[in-house]
């Protein structure tokens, strides 16, 4: 008896999340802000990558902000604040993913129309965040060379629900005997045609390509906002 009941409750929650995410997406479009959700396993380097992203975009004159999800601690927000942009920590208190409601609640007091980009750093988890739309324009899945090339095949949903795959810690490729060809093949097997970038937050590699992607995405958001 329990299985159909949990499925029903779960579907109810996902439906409610989707509705709220739809509302958020409308609000983001009206404000002409481009929103990116970063997902990955724990320790794939999301925070280092985001720190470098925020710092450089800020230097280039873009208005950026970030929401950072974690089960516990405010360490990431503290780290990211060094980039000089507004950052808020979302402590999920044991919940394994971010939900649209948490995003909405934590936007309070921010003037979205003044921002160009909002980055959301999801909880480190290659499974559960894939089911929760946050109203983002793009989901970026980060995949460290240290994790092994088989992860896209083992966690297909998070890869095939993403819009761009970002290989991180590329500076460790050689020492990890990273098999580039196998990695690309596996990513494209679960999500054909997805763009793939190779980056290192620590060594500052791959950010020009990342910013080209973001600026294209922003243009799309802009033209969509005009069309509304």
- CA geometry: angle 139, 145, 149, nearest 5 deg: 85
Cα 91–Cα 61–Cα 207 angle in degrees, nearest 5: 70
For residue 176, give Cα distances in angstroms to 47, 88, 143, 149.
21, 34, 14, 11
Residue 96 binding a copy of itself, by CB under 8 A: yes
Report the nearest approach of a copy of itself to the CB of residue 83 (Å).
18
Helix axis angle, 207-227 to 46-59, nearest 10°: 70
| Interface positions, 169-228, toward a copy of itself (CB under 8 A) | 169, 172, 175-176
Give the shortest CB-136-to-a copy of itself separation in angstroms: 21
Pick from 20, 82, 15, 5: which is nearest to 51 by CA?
A: 82
Q: Scan residues 15-44 and list those touching a copy of itself (CB under 8 A).
A: 16, 41-44
| Number of residues binding to a copy of itself, judged by CB under 8 A | 40
Candidates 59-67, 111-119, 149-157, 207-215; binding stretch for a copy of itself (CB under 8 A): 149-157
Candidates 72, 109, 111, 223: give the one binding a copy of itself (CB under 8 A): 72
* Residue numbers at the binding site for a copy of itself (CB under 8 A): 2, 5-6, 9, 12-13, 16, 41-44, 70-73, 75-76, 94, 96, 123-128, 144, 146-148, 150-151, 153-157, 169, 172, 175-176
């Amino acid at each position: 008896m329990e299985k159909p009941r949990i499925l029903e409750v779960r579907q109810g929650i996902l439906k409610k999340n989707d509705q709220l995410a739809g509302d958020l997406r409308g609000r983001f479009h009206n404000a002409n802000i481009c929103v990116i959700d970063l997902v990955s396993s724990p320790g794939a380097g999301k925070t280092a990558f985001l720190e470098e992203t925020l710092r450089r975009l800020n230097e280039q004159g873009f208005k950026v902000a970030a929401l950072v999800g974690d089960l516990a601690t405010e360490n990431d927000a503290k780290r990211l604040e060094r980039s000089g942009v507004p950052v808020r920590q979302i402590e999920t208190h044991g919940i394994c993913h971010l939900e649209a409601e948490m995003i909405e609640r934590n936007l309070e007091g921010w003037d979205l129309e003044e921002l160009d980009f909002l980055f959301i750093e999801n909880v480190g988890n290659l499974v559960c965040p894939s089911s929760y739309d946050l109203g983002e324009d793009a989901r970026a899945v980060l995949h460290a060379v240290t994790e092994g090339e088989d992860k896209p095949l083992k966690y297909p949903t998070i890869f095939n629900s993403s819009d761009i795959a970002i290989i991180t810690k590329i500076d460790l490729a050689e020492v990890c005997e990273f098999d580039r060809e196998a990695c690309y093949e596996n990513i494209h097997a679960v999500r054909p045609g997805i763009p793939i970038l190779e980056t290192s937050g620590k060594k500052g590699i791959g950010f020009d390509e990342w910013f080209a992607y973001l600026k294209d995405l922003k243009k799309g958001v802009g033209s969509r906002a005009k069309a509304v």
